[in-house]
Amino acid sequence: MEKNIPRIGVGVFVFKNGKFLMGKRRGAHGTGSWSVPGGHLEFGEAIEETAARELLEETGVVGKNLKVRAFTNDIFVDECKHYVTLWVTCDWDSGEPQIIEPDKFTDLDWCDFNSLPTPLFHPWVQLFKSDNLEVIKQDLEKSK
């Protein structure tokens, strides 16, 4: 893959009891930073399908009521990578979080916007600047 071609990433907020699942990244760009589960949009896949697939593959959790809520334009200068990240929200349906892909996450934790771990993965910088962050926060409030 050429480094100068933008990629599409999908991050998924899965809500349970007023919190969302986050993992400490490993093995890819952003190693050591925290973000929600997610991955690359695959050819022919709906965005919600990507979110559901990645959530299950990485954590063993099944989500329901998946909705695309925001996007960010994320340029990783040091890594010479460019992503458009699509942010999806969903409600927890089943499964207890576990690290299924230890090459992708080293830790998992339920968090909220008042208890975010640090450091955060670079796309969160753009997400915090986004007007659509409020939509994600509203979805979280509805999940309580």
Question: What pLDDT shows up at residue 3?
Answer: 56
What tens digit of pLDDT does each residue of 17-61 get?
999 999 999 987 899 999 999 999 999 999 999 999 999 999 999
The dihedral region occupied by 74, where left means phi > 0, alpha psi between -120 and 50, and beta the remainder, is beta
pLDDT above 70: percentage of residues in the chain? 98
Phi and psi torsions of 55, nearest 5°:
-60, -45
Question: What pLDDT shows up at residue 129?
Answer: 93
Q: Which DSSP category does 100 fall into?
A: S
d(CA 45, CA 74): 21
What tens digit of pLDDT does each residue of 57-94 get?
999 999 999 999 999 999 999 889 999 999 999 999 99
Phi and psi torsions of 5, nearest 5°:
-100, 120
Quick one: average pLDDT of 103-132?
Answer: 95
Structure tokens at 1: 């893959």
pLDDT confidence band for 4 (50 / 70 / 90): confident
Question: What pLDDT shows up at residue 10?
Answer: 98
d(CA 61, CA 97): 6
Residue ranges of domains in the chain: 7-139
Q: Which DSSP category does 5 fall into?
A: S
Architecture of domain 7-139: Alpha-Beta Complex (3.90)
